[in-house]
Every structure is written in structure tokens, then in C-alpha cells.
Amino acid sequence: MKSDAIKFGANNAAHRSLFHALGWTEEEMHKPIVGIVSSQNEIVPGHMNIDKVVDAVRLGVAEAGGMPVVFPAIAVCDGIAMGHEGMKYSLVTRDLISDSTECMALAHGFDALVMVPNCDKNVPGLLMAAARINVPTVVVSGGPMLAGHVDGCKTSLSSMFEAQGAYTAGKMSAEALEDYARRVCPTCGSCSGMYTANSMNCLTEVLGMGLRGNGTIPAVYSARLELAKHAGMAVMEMLRRDIRPRDIMTEAAFRNALTVDMALGCSTNTMLHVPAIAHECGIELDLGIANDISSKTPNICHLAPAGRTYMEDLDAAGGVYAVMNELSKAGLLDLGCMTVTGKTVGENIADCPVIDHETIRPIDDPFSPTGGIAVLRGNLAPDGAVVKRSAVAPEMLVHEGPARVFESEEEAQAAIDAGKIKPGDVVVIRYEGPKGGPGMREMLNPTSAIMGMGLGESVALITDGRFSGATRGACLGHVSPEAASGGPIGIVQEGDTIAIDIPNHTVDLKIDQAEFDRRMAAFEPRHKELSGYLARYAALVSSGATGAVLS
């Protein structure tokens, strides 16, 4: 065992004295040390129950003969951070989480790891760390929230943000708004739609790094605790068989993940996180493959915000394994990939049929014949832009309109709230990218305001920042290169015509080439005065097109 190098022999007597200081017995010192990364805190609803999940993991590890040791990871709630300076500190935590986990695991010689994340940046951050550390590792999340209920209908956080837009537009009373606020988030857990946290927890199953149900079993179900115990047991079997993250997270596994991403209609943020995790595995993913995979992969789920089903419905319908089983009927998955169960993908999903074909459509009767995410390119986004096409109204799949240009989210939000955005407009929000923000803020407030005001079928939004998994509508994010790096989004002027064609994967600024070249030659990006961690992050971060990884 790896930890033997710090536990036994005369040269390690000092180490043993410190283990004795922890109260460890001789018997415990002879067991493998299994680090349990706990993302629990008291400010993130998706993380408030993680202490119970961690306790269950500890029992599973101990039952299987390991010595469990818990250490923490930070977590930011994107919902609470949304719409103000705090959102600049969301994406950037992905690397802090990864770095600190690497430091803790390698400094203390852990033999294996169980990672317990839940919300947006913790899942990819811990998967990135798993790839770096490369000791046997299982991921088990805290689980999704149950849907809320308002006026007899299921609701979720995206409904809440859109209700704010409706209130601002005078379409909802203050009393109705407060009723929403009390009802849309009824339990602990990651917010109940196919937002970023749930997207990444589902894709963790697909990658083979989580057990069945990791992405879908609700946080408040006792089955979540059973899953956690089994995760603790599974990592001990992985240790015995020496199955490691890089044995599991192969190029074929990442293609599987992108395929299921398209079928589920996951958050556009997966287009940041999946390449970043792959990068840590030594695999470089060109986002161009997303369109190729999408062209072959039907979208068979329409969870909120794209539709009216929620994570609890997906779980009841058979979960992620059932989705994979359905996709396998068309030969869309590599079934030979290894997983944390010690079995292949094909073995795992063999007896997992779809239970509810309303929530998970048959492969030959999908919601759409192509996948839920599209990557667009053109003179406005030479390196790409990302849109959740499954959440775009049909009439907005092709759109052309005048640019309404804003240098920050706050400027755009003020214009939207003041009623200055009209049907047909294309709202452009720049200097919100990884470097320019910095931190690539999510834009759920502007997009929800547009939807709540009834403009979702006539107004598009484009940004070098990104959109929440709760966003719906013709919202193009990750425009690369970003304005702060000299990207063409920085030369767009008020009133310029922008053409968006999602089916043909294009987004273009409709000015003649001579004018385009003149503006680019004269363009000098704006730079913000920064300090602290954001200054270091902005100096090191790469483009959103490559996953916003640190160099």
C-alpha cells in the first residue's frame, strides 16, 4: 500500500507518533488510508446534507477494511452568487478545489479516495483532482433536490428567476413572487432541473467514476445513504484490483459522456468542464467533436429548464443507466469502458431498461433527432460558441437582428429591467469571459428576465461569459476568443446585424470584410484593475474554448 511508506519502519517512527496523536490504534495503522473529500458546508443547499453522505461513506469504507479519513473542500452556491460580484468567484473555485485536494491527498499518502461533491464546480474540480492523483477513486454526490410545487405544478430554481423577470415586467404580484420563493426549492440537494450540478453528476456515472444513481437519486431519499455506503465498499475493491481513474477516464469514456450529454440535454457548462477533466487525463478534446456527436445522437430527455420533468422523474424512469441502455440500441456508446464497479459499461447497463417513456423517450421517437448542445462558429466566434439548442424555441433556431451592446452583465440587466430591449434584438454582453470577467460569470439573471418578460421567443443573447444550466432560450455563451483576448465580439457596435443559425452551427457579424478588418486592426481590449486571486486567475486562465484551464 502507498501509505505503508509513511507508517512502518524505524525511519517512520515520527509519523507513527503523529498517527497515535490522532488516536489511531495499531490495527487501524495496518489498514489502507482512504481519504474522503467532504464538500459539506452550511451555505450551499446542495451541500448541507453531505455530512450524512460522508458518514455513510465512512461506514462503507470501514466495513470493507479501510481506514476512512475525512478532509474538506470548499463550495460556492451558484444560485446565491448569481447576479453580483460573487459570481466571479464560482468557476475559479474549480481549480482551488482540484489543487487543494491534490495537495491533501499526496501530502498524506492516501491509498484511495472517495469524493463527495454536489454542486457546479465541485464535481469537475474533484474529477480533475482524481485524474491528477490517480489512486483508486469513487465519486458519490449529495444528490438532487426534489422539485417544488406552485399552483399544482412542479417548479425549480429556473422558474424562480423567471418569476423575478415577470414581476419586474408587471406580470406578477409581489405576493405571488414571494409564494414562488417559498415553494420552488423545498429540500436540500442540487437544484432539481438538468442544471450544471446535476448534469455533471449524471456524466460522472457515464464516465464510469460514480455508481448507478449517483446523478439522480434525490438527496432526501434513504437510497442516497445506501449508495454512499456502497461507494465506500467499491473503492476498497478498486484498491484490491488496482483500478485507477485514468484506467476509467479514457478518450472513449469522454466520447460516451458527450454522447449522453447530448441525449440528456445537459447544461452548456459541460462544454467547459468535460474538456478540463480530459486535459488532466492527458486527453485534449476539440469541441468540434460535439457537433459530430450531436448529429448522430437523438435528444431523448427534456428535463427542466427545457421541459417539465425533473431529476426525481429521471430517477423514477430508470436513471442515467436507462438512458445509456436506450442509446446502446443504436450503437452510440463504447460498451467496453471500465468503471468503478469493476465491470464494463455494457455489463453495468445490460439490465437497466427505461421504465417511463414519457421522461426518457425511445431512441426511435426522440424529442429531436440531434443532441441538446450545439457549438457555433463564424466570424463573431472563430473558436466557437455554445448553445443549449434543446432549450431554444423553434422560431429562434435561426435569428437575425440588431446588436444591443453592453460591457458587463450589470449594464445589460439595467437595460432589460428598464424595458429597453425589444423583440428581434440580439443582446451582446462582453468582457465577462475567463480573463475579462474575470471568472466567466453565468448570466441567469438577464436570460431569466428576458423569459419572464415574454421575450424568449424573439430576443437572443450572446456573451463571452457563460449561462447557467437553468438558462433557456437562444443564449450563446463561451464566445471565443473573448473580448479581453482581442476576440471579434469586442468590435461589435450598437445596431450591427448579427445572424445566428443554430442548425447550421454559425454565428456571424454581418458587416463587410473591409470594415471587419479595419475594426479588428484598431481594436484595443479593455483591461480591469485586479487584485488577489482573481488577478492570478486572469493571468493564468486559458480560453473558454479549451475548458478555461490554468496554464
DSSP string of 132-169, one letter each residue = HH-SSEEE----BPPPEEETTEEE-HHHHHHHHHHHHT
Q: Whole-model pTM?
A: 0.95
Q: How many whole angstroms separate alpha carbon 235 and alpha carbon 63?
A: 12
pLDDT digits (tens, 9 = 90+) for 440-493: 999 888 988 898 889 989 999 999 999 887 788 899 999 999 999 999 999 999
Q: Compute the distance between CA of residue 475 and CA of residue 447 in angstroms, rounded to an integer.
A: 8
The average confidence (pLDDT) of the chain is: 95
Could you tell me which residues are beta bridge partners of residue 404?
A: 427
User: CA 151, 152, 158 angle in degrees (round to 5)?
Assistant: 70
Whether the CB-CB separation of 488 and 380 falls below 8 Å is answered with yes
pLDDT tens-place string over residues 244-267? 999 999 999 999 999 999 999 999
The pLDDT of residue 172: 93
The gap from C-alpha 102 to its chain's centroid, in whole angstroms, comes to 20
Model confidence at 514: pLDDT above 80: yes
Residues 136-187 have pLDDT tens digits of 999 999 999 999 999 999 999 988 888 888 898 899 999 999 999 999 999 9
- Name the residue among 233, 243, 229, 242 with its Cα closest to residue 64: 233
pLDDT in tens, 317-352: 999 999 999 999 999 999 999 999 999 999 999 999
Closest CA to 498 of 427, 412, 402: 402
**Which cell numbers hold the place of 126?**
474533484
**Grid coordinates belonging to 108:** 498524506
pLDDT of residue 358: 96
Q: What is the rounded CA–CA span in Å between residue 182 and residue 445?
A: 19
**Catalytic option among 159, 294, 458, 468:** 468
| Residue 98 annotated in active site | no
- The predicted structure's pLDDT at residue 541: 97
State pLDDT tens for residues 186-228. 999 999 999 999 999 999 999 999 999 999 999 999 999 999 9
CA angle 363, 305, 268 (to 5 degrees): 80
Mean pLDDT of 22-47: 96
Q: How far apart are CA 230 and CA 117, in angstroms?
A: 16
